[in-house]
Amino acid sequence: MKEIKIHNNLSRKKETFVPVKPGKVNYYSCGPTTYDFAHIGNARAFVVGDLIHRVLKSFGYEVTFVRNYTDVDDKIIERARELGKDAIEFAALFVKECETDFGFLGMIPPTHTPKVSETMPEIIKMIEDIIRNKKAYVVEGEVLFDVPSFADYGKLSKKDLDSLQHGIRVEVDKKKRNSADFVLWKPAKPGEPFWDSPWGQGRPGWHIECSAMAKKFLGETLDIHHGGVDLMFPHHENEIAQSEAANNCPFCNNWVHHEFLNFGSEKMSKSLGNVVRIRDFVEKYSGQVLRHLLLSVHYRARLEWTDEVVQRALEEVKRIHEFVVEAETYKATGTADDAEIMGCIEKMKDDLSNDFNSAGALGTFFTFIRHARHNRDSLSQNSVTEILKIVNFVRDSMGFVSSDPEATLLSLRKNEQSLEGSDIDSQWIENLIEERKTAKASKNWARADEIRKELAAKNIVLKDNPDGSSTWKVQS
Ligand code: AMP
Ligand code: ZN
């Protein structure tokens, strides 16, 4: 089996990956909190999680992959209350919406997708184990993790307890013995969802769910754990503390964190209100373009969201799928096998085995596309067969090729096609959209309105998107 190197945040070094059981990988990725539609920053988490899964599988590993749904959480309870809905039912609705988004992004299903609401016995059992091992204490129906009792606290985030204690100036929770202690279980307030426990009716703190779900489906020591860099502290640090305090053995050998998707200089996030929802992007461009864009940059590099980045992804997706459709018609006319074609999969595997470098593998793929096109009239039978293998490898290991290339091309061309046979050209529409944007920016609402009407007269309907852009389609 080919050796994989992974940048392990536990050591902050790139290391040779050695799973606990040869040939098998136990892999966990922190999933979404389901109280709203997911945005394209979240999509980076999902798609990178999926990339790791696919690459390991295509290298021949037997992977058990768990990605959870956080369906019990303060934000969910608050939002459901505002809307007068039952919190668990409300969260379940957004689990469904999330699954729809996963479909757009061409994800392969994890082995298990547990929910917090369905993992209560395991969560309670784990908290009992931590208390028994004297690493947690109970105060008035609340269970708190005793951070100073866990000597290794800070080993992932590289924070030391002293500076942590000093960093927390305001003591909010009077029940805490130490300011860095965190909640494992808390009593339910009236009207909140609750579960029975040895400490009274309540619900778990955020971090314990991942420790309990990981143990339930993957055992006590994981090979790989993934999440966004924002989760390294406190979430992942606390997962380590809980699991190691309960199980008395290492929790996870390799920690992988992806960088942010930024909008301007800031992280795209719901709290900053600068989000583009996955489905809005998909409606405008397609899920394949989003997936491509997110994986065309190494997962450890920041990704700045700009129009140019989107435009480049659009063009590249088109180029790839035009090639894939064309390659199906290639016929063998030569006799000599082409070394560059025959070595392409191995070269992409070299890229991917270097810390899941999908950006490098994409570059290799484009070099191959240019080469194959250039030499299409002198290909041997082996080379023709290999080209199809390469396309399948790219589809399976990274998902840069969709399951239906013709449909992908069609969806990219759909706006242009709608105009065929009419006297309108898309550039005229784009120019008016641009003019309307400028009019709106200078509060010239009359002109903005006039442009909308001018387009409507030609059967062109405008849709304004949350990111400030506008898209158009021909009214059917
Ligand atoms: P949440 O639903 O907020 O718990 O987030 C789910 C996943 O999305 C986590 O792994 C976060 O780290 C990740 N995430 C949220 N915002 C961004 C962003 N702007 N860029 C990259 N990942 C993000
Ligand atoms: Zn988690």
Cβ–ligand 1 distance for 269 under 6 Å, the answer yes
The four Cα atoms 74, 78, 81, 86 give a dihedral, to 10 degrees, of -30
What average pLDDT does the chain have? Answer: 93
Which of 258, 284, 312 is at the close of a domain? 258
Q: Is the domain of 207 the same as that of 292? A: no
**Residue 374, number of CB atoms within 10 A of its CB:** 9
Q: List, for residues 267-279, the tens digit of each pLDDT value.
A: 998 878 889 999 9
- Looking at residue 474, its pLDDT comes to 77
Instruction: For 120-246, list the strands marked E by DSSP.
Output: 136-139, 142-145, 182-187, 202-204, 222-228
What is the C-alpha to C-alpha distance for residues 292 and 316, in angstroms, rounded to an integer? 8
DSSP string, 398-456: T--S-S-HHHHHHHHHHHHHHTTTSS--HHHHHHHHHHHHHHHHTT-HHHHHHHHHHHH
Q: Is the domain of 116 the same as that of 174? A: yes
Q: List, for residues 284-332, the tens digit of each pLDDT value.
A: 889 999 999 999 999 999 999 988 899 899 999 999 999 999 999 999 9
What is the C-alpha to C-alpha distance for residues 135 and 406, in angstroms, rounded to an integer? 58
Mean pLDDT over 393-397 rounds to 98
Q: Is the domain of 365 the same as that of 317? A: yes
Q: Is the domain of 358 the same as that of 330? A: yes
| Ligand 1 nearest-atom number relative to CA 33 | 2
Q: Is the domain of 38 the same as that of 169? A: yes
Q: What is the CATH number of the domain that holds 181?
A: 3.40.50.620
Res 467 pLDDT > 80: no
Cβ–ligand 1 distance for 32 under 6 Å, the answer yes
Distance 434 CA to ligand 2 centre (A): 42
Q: Is the domain of 254 the same as that of 379? A: no
Res 465 pLDDT > 70: no
- In single-letter form, the type of residue at position 255 comes to W
Res 424 pLDDT > 90: no
> How many residues are listed for the chain in this entry?
476
Q: Is the domain of 404 the same as that of 432? A: no
Res 171 pLDDT > 60: no
Buried b (16+ CB within 10 A) or exposed e, 302-311: ebebeeeebe
Nearest CA to ligand 1 atom 12: 228
Mean pLDDT over 181-206 rounds to 96
Residue 228: which pLDDT band, with cuts at 50, 70 and 90? very high
- Looking at residue 476, its pLDDT comes to 62
Residue identified by tokens 């909008």 is 263
The residues, any chain, with a CB within 8 Å of residue 384's CB and separated by 6 or more, are 330, 331, 332
Return the SS3 of 320: helix
Q: Which ligand is nearest to the Cα of residue 260, counting in written order?
A: 1
Q: Is the domain of 392 the same as that of 434? A: no
Res 343 pLDDT > 80: yes
Q: Which H or E run contains 132?
A: helix 120-132
Q: What is the CATH number of the domain that holds 308?
A: 1.10.730.10
Distance 163 CA to ligand 1 centre (A): 26
| Ligand 1 nearest-atom number relative to CA 31 | 6
Ligand 1 test: best mutation among 229, 230, 278, most atoms within 8 Å of CB?
A: 230
Q: Is the domain of 227 the same as that of 350? A: no
Query: Is 64 within 8 Å of 25 (Cβ atoms)?
Result: yes
Distance 217 CA to ligand 2 centre (A): 14
Which of 193, 223, 258 is at the close of a domain? 258
Buried b (16+ CB within 10 A) or exposed e, 228-252: beebbebbbbbbbbbbbbbbeeebb
**Portion of the chain with pLDDT greater than 70, in percent:** 96
**Portion of the chain with pLDDT greater than 90, in percent:** 82
Q: Is the domain of 181 the same as that of 91? A: yes
Which of 193, 225, 258 is at the close of a domain? 258
Res 194 pLDDT > 60: yes
- Looking at residue 253, its pLDDT comes to 98
Mean pLDDT over 172-198 rounds to 92
The domain of 462 spans 416-474
Nearest CA to ligand 1 atom 14: 42
Q: List, for residues 74-97, the tens digit of each pLDDT value.
A: 999 999 999 999 999 999 999 999
Ligand 1 test: best mutation among 39, 42, 115, 239, most atoms within 8 Å of CB?
A: 42
Res 456 pLDDT > 80: yes
Distance 6 CA to ligand 1 centre (A): 21
Q: Is the domain of 234 the same as that of 302? A: no
Pairing of strands 252-258, 222-228: parallel
Instruction: Indicate the number of domains in the chain.
Output: 3
Mean pLDDT over 156-184 rounds to 81
- Looking at residue 236, its pLDDT comes to 98
Res 385 pLDDT > 80: yes
- 304: which strand partners? 262
What is the C-alpha to C-alpha distance for residues 100 and 107, in angstroms, rounded to an integer? 11
Q: Is the domain of 240 the same as that of 274? A: no
Cβ–ligand 1 distance for 261 under 6 Å, the answer yes
Residue 196: which pLDDT band, with cuts at 50, 70 and 90? very high
The residues, any chain, with a CB within 8 Å of residue 315's CB and separated by 6 or more, are none
Distance 44 CA to ligand 1 centre (A): 8
- Looking at residue 167, its pLDDT comes to 57
- Looking at residue 463, its pLDDT comes to 78
- Looking at residue 461, its pLDDT comes to 85
The DSSP 8-state label assigned to residue 236 in this structure reads I
